[in-house]
Amino acid sequence: MSNTVTERNRVKRLHERGHYDEATIHAILDVQPFCTVGYVFGGAPYVTPSLQWREGNHIYWHGSSASRMLETCQDAQVCVNVTIYDGMVMARSAFHHSVNYRSVMAFGRAFKVTDAVEKVAKLKTFVDKLYPGRWDILRPVMAKEAKATMMLGLELSEVSAKIRSGPPKDDDEDYALPIWAGVIPLRMQTLPAIDDPKLMAGVVAPEHVRTFKVG
């Protein structure tokens, strides 16, 4: 990973929470597929939710070939954010309430994956990262489906992570106040899968459904 610290990705506010190493950044990207993509369209800023996955030193996201977001982001400067909420931090003053989180901000010029074979191979990686082994049991992708899908990528060359963890940080004199303070932990909960009502008789959920977890 060749990550450069620039004015865009350098953590300025509470800089001690900033991280630029590959292990920290990759760990956050790999555990949370949900992302938001920031871009400029018609002179105005927009943020669109999507799903991302990482392959080596790049992240990818995809959608309809008719997507305004994808068309606008192609060969343009973007900002992709991934955030995991870990807890609500409650202090003895309103000012020091906070949130425990792990986040990644990636900046750069998005590029379009144009090769049809490469695009399908990357879709397989995306599916199998979420649900190991699922791709091989699915109906093969049709040519018209691949054509209707646009995929963008972004090199992780200007990226940073920012992390807050631990208890609240109150003013020294406030620790003597009889006010509860602490952290309410948060986590994403995976519930049992719900069968499609049109499922064929006798078809049961495979292991990658029964064991699925995210976050």
What is d(CA 62, CA 113) in angstroms, rounded to the nearest whole number?
A: 10
CB under 8 Å to 107, separation ≥6 — which residues? 6, 8, 9, 77, 78, 79, 158, 159
User: What is the structure's pLDDT at 66?
Assistant: 93
pLDDT of residue 82: 98
Helix (H, G, I), strand (E, B) or coil at 133: coil
Q: Output the pTM of the full model.
A: 0.92
Residue 1: its pLDDT value, please?
Answer: 52
The gap from C-alpha 6 to its chain's centroid, in whole angstroms, comes to: 21
- Give the pLDDT confidence score for residue 9 in this predicted structure: 85
Maximum Cα interatomic distance, the chain, rounded to a whole number of Å: 68
Q: Spell out the domains of the chain, with CATH numbers in brackets.
A: 15-87+100-165 (2.30.110.10)
Task: Return averaged pLDDT per consecutive 10 residues of the chain, 215 residues in all.
Answer: 83 87 96 97 96 97 95 96 97 98 97 95 96 96 94 97 97 98 95 95 94 81
